[in-house]
Amino acid sequence: MAVQSHNHAALAATGGPDRPPTADSASPPTPPPAPAHVHAAGLMLDSHGRTIRDLRVSLTDRCNFRCVYCMEPDVRFAPPGSLMAPDEIVRLVTLAESLGVRKVRLTGGEPTLNPHLEQIIRDLRRATRVELALITNAWRLDRATARAWKAAGLDRVTISIDSLRHDRFARLTRSTSTPADVLAGVEACIAEDLTPLKLNAVLLRGLNDDEAPDLATLARTYDLEMRFIEYMPLDSAHAWDSAQVVTAAETRRAIHARFPLIATDADDASSTAVTYRFADGAPGRVGLIAPVSNPFCGACSRLRLTADAKVRPCLFSTTEWDLMPLLRGGARDADLRRFLIDATWTKQAGHGISLDTFRQPERPMSAIGG
The residues facing 117 across adjacent strands are none
Confidence of residue 18 (pLDDT cuts 50, 70, 90): very low
Is residue 2 a part of any domain in this protein? Answer: no
pLDDT tens string 260-319: 999 998 778 777 889 999 999 999 999 999 988 877 776 889 999 999 999 998 877 778
Cα–Cα nearest to 312, from 238, 364, 358, 236:
364
Instruction: Determine the average pLDDT of the residues in 132-146.
Output: 96
pLDDT tens string 190-211: 999 999 999 999 999 999 999 9
Is residue 50 a part of any domain in this protein? Answer: yes
Cα–Cα nearest to 63, from 115, 111, 109:
109
Domain that holds residue 134: 8-368
pLDDT at 352: 56
Helix (H) / strand (E) element for 80: namely: none
Is residue 63 a part of any domain in this protein? Answer: yes
pLDDT(44) > 90: yes
CATH of residue 174's domain is 3.20.20.70
Top pLDDT among 268 and 168 is at: 168
pTM of structure: 0.88
Is residue 284 a part of any domain in this protein? Answer: yes
- Please say whether the beta carbons of 233 and 70 come within 8 A: no
End-to-end alpha carbon distance in the chain: 21
Q: Could you tell me whether strands 261-263 and 103-107 are parallel, antiparallel, or unpaired per DSSP bridges? A: unpaired
Least confident residue range of 158-162, 187-191, 349-353? 349-353
Please provide the average confidence, as pLDDT, over all residues in the chain. Answer: 88
Beta sheet of 198-202, edge-to-edge order = 261-263, 274-278, 285-289, 225-229, 198-202, 156-160, 131-136, 103-107, 54-58, 302-305, 310-312, 321-322
Is residue 3 a part of any domain in this protein? Answer: no
Domains: count for the chain: 1
* One-letter amino acid of 99: L
Is residue 1 a part of any domain in this protein? Answer: no
Confidence of residue 22 (pLDDT cuts 50, 70, 90): very low
Confidence of residue 17 (pLDDT cuts 50, 70, 90): very low
Is residue 151 a part of any domain in this protein? Answer: yes
